[in-house]
Amino acid sequence: MAIREIITPSNEILRKKAHKVTNFKDPKLQTLIDDMVDTMLDAPGVGLAAPQVAVSQRVIVVRLPDDEESKQEYGEEAGVLYVLVNPEIARASKEMLEGVEACLSIPGYFGTVDRHESVTVKGYDRSGKEVRVKAVGWLARVFQHEIDHLDGILYIDRASKVWRAEEMEDEPVE
């Protein structure tokens, strides 16, 4: 397992549609997944898509924090590691929520993005077994953000406003 370099938009892989995974027994896939988890946790982040580590494959990893505050806010979703191969949104709520997003591939910036309040994501686990995840709130937002990466879409493409992180430091914290 290794920490991989997280690429920025200057690398064209980030803007291309990733390839579907067809061989779940490929040791390179398993190494990629392990490395992605390590890279996400090291960054630290709550999600990572394979294109962000310069691999054009439809693989994402997601994990909300598991500190005490997160456990109170997100309950059983806090700290759960989701590994999804070939994920897609099977169902999305009509209700949209505006929220602030950031991205490990665009360090130092935040943006306001409208996302579906809840989604059902279907895909496969690392061994090729079919998986469905029903996600609400922040977890739903993270899944939508990471699946966008697989299609070459960055949150800044969907944002109504983008700003530098330093600009937030001048804002009063609520």
pTM: 0.93
Does residue 146 carry a catalytic annotation? Answer: yes
DSSP 171: S
pLDDT at 169: 55
Q: Does residue 171 surpass a pLDDT of 60?
A: no
pLDDT at 78: 83
For the residues 100-109, what does the mean pLDDT come to? 97
For the residues 70-89, what does the mean pLDDT come to? 90
CB atoms within 10 A of CB 48: 28
Percent of residues in the chain assigned helix, strand, coil, to nearest 5: 30, 30, 35
Local confidence band at 172 (pLDDT 50, 70, 90 cut-offs): very low
Local confidence band at 55 (pLDDT 50, 70, 90 cut-offs): very high
Q: For residue 6, which of 43, 58, 60 has the smallest C-alpha distance?
A: 43
How far CA 165 is from CA of 20, 23, 35, 90, in Å, comes to: 34, 40, 27, 33
Lowest mean pLDDT among 37-46, 69-78, 112-121, 129-138: 69-78
CATH class assigned to 12-168: alpha beta
Local confidence band at 168 (pLDDT 50, 70, 90 cut-offs): low
Pick left, alpha or beta for residue 20 (phi over 0 → left; psi -120 to 50 → alpha; otherwise beta). beta
Query: What phi and psi, each to the nearest 5 degrees, are found at residue 109?
Result: -130, 155
pLDDT at 66: 86
Choose the catalytic residue: 76, 117, 130, 146. Answer: 146
Local confidence band at 174 (pLDDT 50, 70, 90 cut-offs): very low
